[in-house]
Amino acid sequence: MKKIKIKNLKVENSEELIKQMKEALRDCPAVMRYCKEIGMSEQIMDENITKIYDLVRDTNYCRKCPGLQKCEKENAYLITKITYANNVVESQLIPCKELLRRISFEKQLIIRDFPDEWLDISVFDVDKSKTKTEALTVYSNYLKNISTNWLYIEGGIGSGKSYLAAAIAIDLAKRAIKGKAPICFINASTRFLELNDLSKQSPSDFKTKLELYCTVPVLIIDDFGHELKTDFIRDAIVNEIITTRCNKRLFTIFTSNFTLDEIETLYATNASRAIMAKQIVKTIRSMLDREIDLGDLKLY
């Protein structure tokens, strides 16, 4: 990450530097107020200006915080903390509020199979097309305890379905409402194959991970339909997760390139397997108002 210096001071000697630091402090009411609140006189401030100026710089930059991804301070994600006790002024770097908020809400995302760049997105960043608005209405009803209906969001590559689902996951994580968090956002191909392998290598870990997906308050299954399709994955993993979550009325979101009819066809490779494939799709449909089709528009 590129680092920049904030409000560089142009000086010819140390006296001029100190003078400019003091002027910068006087021009920063927030820091002046803070220093007075912790008991400093202006004389003490002037005597410790080299320490206090770091807080002035941080305050001026962070007032218009560009977000963690775009932070270009020299001490990125950190802010100066000034303390005053027994006539001694001390300075230390501590995590900024934005970093603490990020750490807090990321704890609610137990599994997060989407890029770091998306951590700054919001449901307000989602375009207000008719279909996306319908999806957000379902989500809003869930937040308001009006409904526990699931979301099945289909669309072509680049239609914004994963972005929309990630925005919902982040919004839920930030709210951290009891019973509506934590959240798992999983890639179907990666996580179902992982479960398949764990079933052979470590049955206890398989049971633990499967239980997590079955019972986590909110589960988002991204790219549903692209996973490896075997009898075991279909019956012991996909069906188990979907049936359990349906019975418990736990909020679940799917994103997929495929319609539910196509999902049924993909899993029904022969007559005997068609029964379970049909049951999986029937269970999903029972929890939906309808499938939401975003089409093939490349919006992100």
198-221 pLDDT, tens digit per residue, is: 999 999 999 999 999 999 999 999
Do 159 and 274 lie in one domain? The reply is yes
Judge whether 228 lies within some domain. Answer: yes
Do 153 and 240 lie in one domain? The reply is yes
Q: Partners of 186 in the beta sheet?
A: 221
Specify the number of domains making up the chain.
2
Identify the CA nearest to 125 among candidates 160, 76, 96. 160
pTM summary value: 0.81
Q: Which of 99-103, 178-182, 222-226 tops mean pLDDT?
A: 222-226
H or E element at residue 52:
helix 49-62
Judge whether 201 lies within some domain. Answer: yes
* Average pLDDT, integer, range 154-181: 94
Domain boundary among 58, 76, 99: 99
Do 124 and 153 lie in one domain? The reply is yes
Decide if pLDDT at 12 tops 70: no
Contact 145, 177 (CB under 8 A): no
Domain boundary among 99, 117, 137: 99
Domain of residue 31, residue span: 14-99
Note the pLDDT of residue 3: 40
Do 170 and 142 lie in one domain? The reply is yes
Do 196 and 83 lie in one domain? The reply is no
Decide if pLDDT at 192 tops 90: yes
Count Cβ atoms within 10 A of the Cβ of residue 25 and give its class: 0-12 exposed, 13-18 middle, 19 or more buried.
Answer: buried
Grouping H, G, I as helix, E, B as strand and the rest as coil, residue 69 is: helix
Note the pLDDT of residue 4: 38
- Condensed to tens digits (0 to 9), the pLDDT of residues 14-54 reads 889 999 999 999 999 999 999 999 999 999 999 999 999 99
Judge whether 8 lies within some domain. Answer: no
Do 50 and 115 lie in one domain? The reply is no
Do 93 and 112 lie in one domain? The reply is no
Domain boundary among 58, 78, 99: 99
Do 133 and 55 lie in one domain? The reply is no
- Condensed to tens digits (0 to 9), the pLDDT of residues 256-285 reads 999 999 999 999 977 778 999 999 999 999
Cis link prior to 182 (omega < 30° from 0)?
yes
Do 152 and 273 lie in one domain? The reply is yes
Judge whether 95 lies within some domain. Answer: yes
* Average pLDDT, integer, range 127-132: 89
Judge whether 137 lies within some domain. Answer: yes
Decide if pLDDT at 298 tops 70: no
